[in-house]
Amino acid sequence: MRIDIVTVLPEMIEGALNCSILKRAQDKGLVQFGLHNLRDYTLDKHRRVDDYPFGGEAGMVLQIEPVDRCIEHLKSHRNYDEIIFTTPDGEQFTQKTANELSLLKNLIILCGHYKGVDYRVREHLITREVSIGDFVLTGGELAAAMIADAVVRVIPGVIGDEQSALSDSFQDNLLAPPVYTRPAEYKGWRVPEVLLSGHERKIAEWRLEQAHDRTKRLRPDLMK
């Protein structure tokens, strides 16, 4: 899979893509990232990519020209399955979205801009608008990094233990059960006995029960 991210702040995203599991996924050839600075695509000699809004609102607006030129440039190299725009008024990004996007071959993520983006970008260049939650960030960069992380992590082979991506919270609309490691007792706080029993069926039953209990208690909306 290839993910191209278009932004005015590539440095805000770079670190997130180039460490830990995402770094390893790139090294294994399971994903390729491209980071593209919008300022490289403007014809303005001062590298400006925003301008005053028509109609006299406050603040500056990201111009369509550099966005279009950048996307056209990317499209001249490959076909894209989706061109995503990160914005708080987009569809809610969920685990289901991550799973869906992970099946695609080539993806562009255009980061929203705190000052707003010429709406023609959204009308003509974008295929999908995504929000990571009902709150407003200063820009779409962290949202793009988060989307890339959630998508890449479910690509087969990215997480060493294939089973672990499937038993995550949200994969079956259930929160994950608790996990413990050594020591079995710390300050008198004991790990549930069943996990020490070696009894596989009982352990699996306990995990499922815990997942149901936690979901019912913490996220009853998921059980509907």
Q: Residue 125 in contact with residue 71, Cβ under 8 Å?
A: yes
Q: State which residue, 106 or 131, has the beta carbon closest to ligand ADE.
A: 131
Q: Both tokens of residue 104?
A: 């695609």
- Which of the stretches 24-32, 81-89, 165-173, 206-214 binds ligand ADE when contact is defined by CB under 6 A? 81-89
Q: For ligand ADE, what does the binding mask look like between residues 130 and 149, x meaning CB under 6 A? A: -xxx-xxx--x--x------
* C-alpha distances out from residue 224 to 41, 86, 167, 201, Å: 47, 28, 19, 27
> Site residues for ligand ADE, window 84-103 (CB under 6 A)?
86-88
- Which of the stretches 36-44, 69-77, 128-136, 199-207 binds ligand ADE when contact is defined by CB under 6 A? 128-136
Least distance from C-beta 194 to ligand ADE, angstroms?
Answer: 40
Q: State which residue, 54 or 135, has the beta carbon closest to ligand ADE.
A: 135
Amino acid at position 32, single letter: Q
Q: Which residues bind ligand ADE (CB under 6 A)?
A: 86-88, 112, 131-133, 135-137, 140, 143
